[in-house]
Amino acid sequence: MPATQAERLALRRSCTLVVPDFASRSAAEEFREIAAWCEAGQVEHDMYGQGALVEGFERKVAAMLGKEAAMFAPSGVLAQLAAVRIWTEAAGVARFGMHPTSHLAHHEEQAYAALLHCHGVPVGDRLRPMRAADLEAVRESLACLLVELPIREAGGQLPSWDELEALKAAARERRVPLHMDGARLWESAAYYGKDHAAIAAGFDSVYVSVYKGIGGFAGALLAGDSGFVAKARVWRRRLGGTLHHLSPLVASAAIRFDERIALMPALYRRAVELASGLADLPGLRVNPAVPQTNMMHLYFDAPAEAVADARDALAKASGCWLVNAVRPAEVPGWSVTELYVGDQLLGADNARVVGLFARLCEAIATSRPGR
CB-based contact 104:80 (threshold 8 Å): yes
H/E element holding 269?
helix 257-278
CA distances from residue 157 to 14, 66, 196 in whole angstroms, order as listed: 32, 23, 17
**pLDDT number for residue 86:** 98
**pLDDT number for residue 267:** 98
Check if CATH label 3.90.1150.10 holds for domain 5-25+259-366. Answer: yes
Closest by CA to 253, choosing from 82, 70, 108, 102, is: 70
**pLDDT number for residue 202:** 98
Name the CA dihedral angle for 147, 152, 154, 160, rounded to a multiple of 10 degrees: 50
Measured from the Cβ of residue 186, the count of other Cβ atoms closer than 10 Å reads 23
Q: CATH top-level class for 43-255? A: alpha beta
Say which DSSP state 367 is in. Answer: T
Ranges of residues in the chain with a pLDDT under 50 are: none
H helix runs in 92-219, sequence order: 103-106, 111-114, 132-136, 161-174, 189-192, 196-200
Range list for CATH 3.40.640.10 in the chain: 43-255
Closest by CA to 37, choosing from 264, 342, 271, 256, is: 256
CA distances from residue 215 to 235, 259, 340 in whole angstroms, order as listed: 25, 11, 13
CB-based contact 141:148 (threshold 8 Å): no
**pLDDT number for residue 368:** 72
Q: Indicate the pTM of the whole model.
A: 0.96
Range list for CATH 3.90.1150.10 in the chain: 5-25+259-366
Instruction: Please state, in angstroms and rounded to a whole number, the distance separating the CA atoms of residues 365 and 119.
Output: 45
Between strands 178-182 and 145-148, the pairing is parallel
Instruction: Please state, in angstroms and rounded to a whole number, the distance separating the CA atoms of residues 277 and 294.
Output: 15
Instruction: Please state, in angstroms and rounded to a whole number, the distance separating the CA atoms of residues 371 and 367.
Output: 7
Question: In whole angstroms, what separates CA 192 from the centre of its chain?
Answer: 17
